[in-house]
Amino acid sequence: MKKKYLKKISIEKIVFFTILALGIFYLYFTYVRFSEDRTKRVLQIAKSIEVTLPKEYLKKLEIKPNDISKPEYQILKNNLKEVIRVNPEARFAYLLTQKNQKVYFIVDSEPENSKDYSPPGQEYTEADITTHQSFKNEKEIITEPSTDRWGTWVSAYIPIKDNITGKTIAVYGMDFDAKSWNRTLLFNLIESIVLIALFLLTALFLFKIIEKNKILNYDIINRRTEEEKLRNALLILKKKNEELDQFAYVISHDLKAPLRAIYSLSEWIQEDLVGATDDVHKNFKLLQGRIVRLENLINGVLEYSRIENSKKASEALDLKKMLIKIVETTVPSEGFEVYIADDFPVIIAEKKLIFKIFSNLITNAVNHNDKAIGKIECTYASLPDFHQFTIKDNGPGIAESYHTKVFGIFQTILARDVQENTGIGLSIVKKIIEGKSGKIYIESEENNGASFIFTLPKNT
């Protein structure tokens, strides 16, 4: 029974659930990494500020209301106010002391006329176990979100020790809004969920293609005669292509609709956030950028999958005029010099596909150029059976190890956070050229420009 049950579990399901499990692990990893990074950053801020406090003034305070009149108190008070001013993520900064197992305020960052002001000597009656531990353990502590009369906070406690005795004489504390903390974590998790969803949907899409190809290959192999093989293969292929086109359209629609909804929802949330920090707005922009990137990737995949079905009637194409038009629409008028040779021929081919080849290669030369004056050269050579075209630039060049990789789908040399790029354009170019029995390759050295050279047969 176990063997029969195992046979029913397809490799697609195994891979799907493996990706799902990895996705859940990635979400957990994102949560842990965020918590650890945020904790380290908060403690670094608090420790760096604690070092600058004039600790010698603490010994001159009596921890009573009359401390307000002392210059040492005012110096510490102004110091804490400045801390809050230059650290907008923090809400309160304060110094605490402990006497007879009770915690008292020495000085805080609030103005005297504030409803949240705590005068020197006021008991902190809501001090929890973690607050008391900061005096006993003599180690830096960052708390889990906890609530007191002022709100819900994530607090950092840094012990201040006597230089002579080494004992803790006070604790420096900073409070950070727990809602902002959780909101930032939520944005990180949403981004991770969107990426995991993309991987799962892509896996399903690929499995559908693999499954349909298996059926097609099985039918072809088992036909009795070559005539029957050819006839049935063509019929099945036509049907499968129609199904794949329909499937691609459905996937596109089902993916884009929720993506756009998420984008709009993020804008509404951002508009409703009153008094949000710059980091919150920055995280929203990052989330919206990732959504746009995902939509561009979907569009690229769909365009790549439809290349073979987008063929139209061939016509006479004046390549010289076509290149001039492409340059006018894609190359900036300033900062670039473009040379187009006069011997470009008139060829018979599908206008849309040839336009896409030249447009993608010239756009690629523009987007990756790092020189003050970018130079692009378009040249032609007539071979016995092929037209040979070269698009050359003076950009950063491409290392030899990437000459083949750059034509792979989703392959980019630079990270997408450095330069936005779907990594599909060159894949489309290669697919079109090879679909016409041509070839494309690169001649380049790193930091020394690049030449994209491709051929198309003269007899189409």
Element (H, E) at 457: strand 450-457
Question: What is the DSSP code string of 363-415?
Answer: HHHHHT--SSSEEEEEEEEE-SSEEEEEEEE-SS---GGGTTGGGSTT--SS-
Residues of the chain with pLDDT under 50: 1-8, 414-420
Q: Give the number of other CB atoms < 10 A from CB of residue 403.
A: 14
Please state the separation of Cα 270 from the chain's center in Å: 19
The model's pLDDT over 308-331, given as tens digits with 9 standing for 90+, comes to 665 667 889 999 999 999 999 999
Give domain status of residue 2, yes or no. Answer: no
- Do residues 289 and 351 both lie within one domain? no
* Pairwise CA distance, residues 330 & 360, whole Å: 10
* pLDDT given at position 6: 47
Q: Is 101 exposed, middle or buried (0-12, 13-18, 19+ CB in 10 A)?
A: exposed
- Do residues 303 and 337 both lie within one domain? no
- φ/ψ of residue 166, rounded to 5: 80, 5
Give domain status of residue 209, yes or no. Answer: yes
- Do residues 344 and 438 both lie within one domain? yes
* Pairwise CA distance, residues 279 & 248, whole Å: 38
* pLDDT given at position 368: 83
> What's the number of domains the chain is made of?
3
Length of the chain: 460
- Do residues 424 and 445 both lie within one domain? yes
* Pairwise CA distance, residues 383 & 17, whole Å: 52
Give domain status of residue 449, yes or no. Answer: yes
* Pairwise CA distance, residues 175 & 388, whole Å: 67
- Do residues 266 and 372 both lie within one domain? no
* pLDDT given at position 309: 60
Angle at 153 between CA 151 and CA 155, to 5 degrees: 140
* Pairwise CA distance, residues 39 & 43, whole Å: 6
Q: What is the CATH number of the domain that holds 362?
A: 3.30.565.10
| Of the residues 309, 329, 361, the one at which a domain ends | 309
Residue 331, CA atoms < 13 Å, CB-side half-sphere: 25
Give domain status of residue 187, yes or no. Answer: no
Q: Which residues pair with 381 in a beta bridge?
A: 388
- Do residues 323 and 375 both lie within one domain? yes
- Do residues 391 and 273 both lie within one domain? no
- Do residues 247 and 341 both lie within one domain? no
* pLDDT given at position 457: 93
Containing structural domain, residue 241: 192-309
- Do residues 73 and 175 both lie within one domain? yes
Q: Is the Cβ–Cβ distance between 301 and 280 less than 8 Å?
A: no
- Do residues 305 and 355 both lie within one domain? no
The model's pLDDT over 232-263, given as tens digits with 9 standing for 90+, comes to 777 887 777 676 667 666 666 666 777 777 77
Q: Give the number of other CB atoms < 10 A from CB of residue 332.
A: 8
